[in-house]
Chains A and B, each alone.
Chain A
């Protein structure tokens, strides 16, 4: 710490702090425009100039680093005059439109004009950019005449987002912020994250949806957690002005959304989905009443209309509502209770299975699995985590004892080397992508191992592009090199781990040359990757930590886990981290990026067939006794239940008769959809809780209308294990209800019929559910809604006074010692052949989320990406005679889809990529459900063999 004096106040600050930051921290306000706390200072506007003893000229406080003994004064006549002159100049080039300006009240220029008492400019220039607007998209409007050229937008786009879409252009009066060659925003590299809108101090950048709908101070605001991905960004929603944040009749409507200032996860930044993708909630297709399918309705005497289930697949049909009749809640619950009780009595509890949801809250999931286990009496409960990170949960539990991100999201920015594999970070976890960009801009090395040239590779120092499925050879060869060069961390290995010697033998043969042959990656690149990772070698700049070796962190996602050897791959990454000692410290760990908003929480709270809440094994007698005591039941089932894919098989085989599905859409998300459809059609009774009539809901007998996350309170646990509080932003439409209430009521009714007494289903609020969770799940022991401020708490948090655990395994591993596993490399289950010569890989893209139920009903998001596509390499496209945006047919052993070609360099030759969000070209018609990881039972969604056809070429041939 050093001491500086500002306006006579002595301040203790960390060396390197800017004078401006120090002053602001101490409550000394200095006028400023180009400065933004999350961006690098430029000294551009010169409004923050201060007098400094020892300098002749006033200095910008934002770029001046505090040095010991510095004496600064921020206010005097001369500085006042200078600052006023700057405001005068800015006003001279700015239309005096405050009366009709949407930014009024939140505009910094207006504020300073007021502070300096300036009614108008004293200078006589023309406004250079009058009438110059860029209005080409539904996300944001750039109105150049309001721009004060502070450069915050270009910096956020460059330093944080990494899109580099805009830059200063021209000079003098011609300067403006421009896209390349002044092209439309929608044609530029812009990813419509709106971060520039968030930091713009004037009305030059505005959210399109907000214009003309009110002044800043008029909007009531509520903050909650974004309902899309596992990053868990905190969002602030501005509501239409009125009574209690709503119209007189209590109706609420979102006007626009922005990042919550100083959020624990996302600073104040968001991606395009969080900022613009909330309008699905008011889509008129929302389900508002419980529905019963017409054939069942007839059977129950609710209607006399004859109706037989439609043959057409829900992937193709529209207007499926006509197949259902609305009923009252009480009736719907009565039907469900009757059917379930009947099934249990005739076929036993294991003839019922349930899918919980990674999009529902912790409270919803907890109650759901309690219904399955305590009321129905089966462990047949799982959710889509099976399809994304089951191998993480299995693999990291074996290696470390805990299957979650070891470190926090914000630690990534301080890493010296970031190693990303199988994660399209900028599109699937955009705000974590921002962290990676920040690390790189500060000089960290980024190494990416991915068969696709995903956008984050733009920032990579090294991109290794193995043939899909061969990455395991690359990782093992990296470890071979680390051993050969003796880059291992001997003291970490001996003190903290076990099994090293056996492991060592397993990579001794796997030289980079062998790996190169298998994977197509150059041996020298594998060696370089090994060095950068093992030694944490930076590209430039100095490490924040000053250790002997730099700090490296691994980020991975579904490219690793959705594989038939997923568990083995996860353990391989764990080996890599342990041998180099990159664990248990800030910015240094193994970090699986979890996909959905609450997939971490759904796993934590026992929506898995083999564990109770808190990963307590159902097979463990003590755990059973403990949970049975909390739930006040005499006993609990001790056999692990069926996983997602197994459930579908059991339904088809007739072993499972009834399915309860809460907010999941297996008809889009599961591999080999044809198979899923067959299973769902053959089930005797299917219940789906949903917000829209999804592809799955269309096959249900009873559909229950659910509240979306914008209409719920309760909690989500994000990918870094942070439990965060949601607040009800909107009222749930029509009769739709929060899931925890619905399932608690169902639990009560089933228990009553089965004469199970004493089990608590009376939850007055989600807070009451959390109180029971904390009794049942040790990691959540100290968590209650009262304790959760805007920061939330990271688990493990065992007691009410525990501060939470942002970094795992600091002193010892959860399982004691870290365990090395000696694995064998293996190839994907389905390899290409002459008939199916292409490798298909699937995944997400930026503007859509999962099965598209929400994002495809969001106007701006679907405007940007309305249609499905397949990415194909330009060389392959040329060979097949494909044309950009023209039809392509893709066929696997299981199904075929027709979609459009997107030709380029993102995938290598011989590989195609299909995003899985589009029902009309559903990637999962092609994927396979045969090859499951032996441990985690996760299907190999990431790799299968397909052939690619050009329908145009075909018809040309048949014609000739």
Chain B
């Protein structure tokens, strides 16, 4: 295989077909990027570049879109995904400080992944459980009526699942 081809990411059949289908339609870039994130859980750089090439969209524009929307991750997500709700109800009931506290406690920036790759932290829009506000989703499961303490408690459970996590928590 020659180098030029090596440099290029292989797309799965499904993704390649999807790109083809959307090639000349308006709004295609966002659709395709969503699809990539669905497939990989994040948007790997070589895949983004390859899609730019196929859609004939400048790479700079792809990067602009990827960084404009919080939704897209440029790094592989952590083992556990924490999505803190920032919808109106949760926000009013202190979602913001839950988020800040998590960021401090896990030592991870918002939209980042912990150094040990265990947790990724995101802020999201209303997740539809306003009655439980403030709420978060951990790996898709809702945890509601949170306080900072309850949040930290919940995380322990996830941590205890893995060896490295224990090491980290001892270090904390």
B161 interfacial contact with A, CB 8 Å = no
Q: Is the CB of B2 within 8 A of A166?
A: no
A179 interfacial contact with B, CB 8 Å = yes
* Segment of B62-70, B83-91, B96-104, B128-136 engaged in the interface with chain A: B62-70
Q: How far is the CA of A154 from the CA of B45 in the complex (A)?
A: 21
B10 interfacial contact with A, CB 8 Å = no
The answer, among B4, B48, B49, B58, for a CB contact under 8 Å with A164, is B58
* Segment of A7-15, A543-551, A697-705, A876-884 engaged in the interface with chain B: A876-884
A904 interfacial contact with B, CB 8 Å = yes
Q: Is the CB of A874 within 8 A of B60?
A: no
A134 interfacial contact with B, CB 8 Å = no
Q: Fill in one digit per residue for A95-121: 1 if any B CB lies within 8 Å of its CB, else 0.
A: 000000000000000000000000000
Given that A180-B59, A458-B56 are contacting pairs, would A167 and B3 also be in contact in the complex, using a CB cutoff of 8 Å? Answer: no
The answer, among A178, A458, A877, for a CB contact under 8 Å with B2, is A877
Task: List residues of chain A with CB within 8 A of the CB of B58.
Answer: 158, 164-165, 167, 189
Number of A residues with CB within 8 Å of any CB on chain B:
27
> Of all chain B residues, which has the CB nearest A886?
B3
Q: Is the CB of A169 within 8 A of B64?
A: yes
By secondary structure, the A interface counts as mixed
Q: Is the CB of B2 within 8 A of A874?
A: yes
Task: List residues of chain A with CB within 8 A of the CB of B48.
Answer: 181
Question: A594: shortest Cβ distance to chain B, in Å?
Answer: 31
Task: List residues of chain A with CB within 8 A of the CB of B3.
Answer: 883-884, 903
A674 interfacial contact with B, CB 8 Å = no
The answer, among B5, B60, B62, for a CB contact under 8 Å with A188, is B60
Q: How far is the CA of A222 from the CA of B60 in the complex (A)?
A: 36
Q: How far is the CA of A883 from the CA of B4 in the complex (A)?
A: 9
Q: Is the CB of B2 within 8 A of A170?
A: no
Task: List residues of chain B with CB within 8 A of the CB of A179.
Answer: 60, 63
Of B56, B61, B63, chain A has the most CB atoms within 10 Å of the CB of B63
B172 interfacial contact with A, CB 8 Å = no
Q: Is the CB of A883 within 8 A of B60?
A: no
Q: Is the CB of B63 within 8 A of A167?
A: yes
Of B1, B49, B61, chain A has the most CB atoms within 10 Å of the CB of B61
Q: How far is the CA of A17 from the CA of B75 in the complex (A)?
A: 46
Given that A164-B60, A179-B60 are contacting pairs, would A904 and B4 also be in contact in the complex, using a CB cutoff of 8 Å? Answer: yes
Q: How far is the CA of A904 from the CA of B59 in the complex (A)?
A: 18
> Of all chain B residues, which has the CB nearest A169?
B67
The answer, among A169, A180, A189, A874, for a CB contact under 8 Å with B5, is A874
> Of all chain A residues, which has the CB nearest B74?
A181
Task: List residues of chain B with CB within 8 A of the CB of A904.
Answer: 4
Task: List residues of chain A with CB within 8 A of the CB of B2.
Answer: 874, 877-878, 882-884, 903
Q: Is the CB of B1 within 8 A of A878?
A: yes
A836 interfacial contact with B, CB 8 Å = no
Question: A795: shortest Cβ distance to chain B, in Å?
Answer: 40
Q: Is the CB of B60 within 8 A of A165?
A: yes
Question: A560: shortest Cβ distance to chain B, in Å?
Answer: 27
Q: Fill in one digit per residue for A182-196: 1 if any B CB lies within 8 Å of its CB, else 0.
A: 000000110000000
Question: A874: shortest Cβ distance to chain B, in Å?
Answer: 5
Q: Is the CB of B68 within 8 A of A171?
A: yes
Given that A180-B49, A180-B60 are contacting pairs, would A874 and B4 also be in contact in the complex, using a CB cutoff of 8 Å? Answer: yes
A168 interfacial contact with B, CB 8 Å = yes
User: What are 9 A-to-B residue pairs whose CB atoms are below 8 Å?
Assistant: A164-B59, A167-B60, A178-B64, A180-B49, A181-B45, A181-B48, A883-B3, A903-B3, A903-B4
Closest 9 CB pairs of A and B: A164-B58, A167-B64, A180-B59, A167-B60, A884-B3, A180-B63, A169-B67, A903-B4, A170-B67
In addition to A178-B60, A179-B60, 6 A-B residue pairs with Cβ atoms within 8 Å of each other are: A154-B60, A167-B60, A168-B64, A181-B45, A181-B63, A884-B4
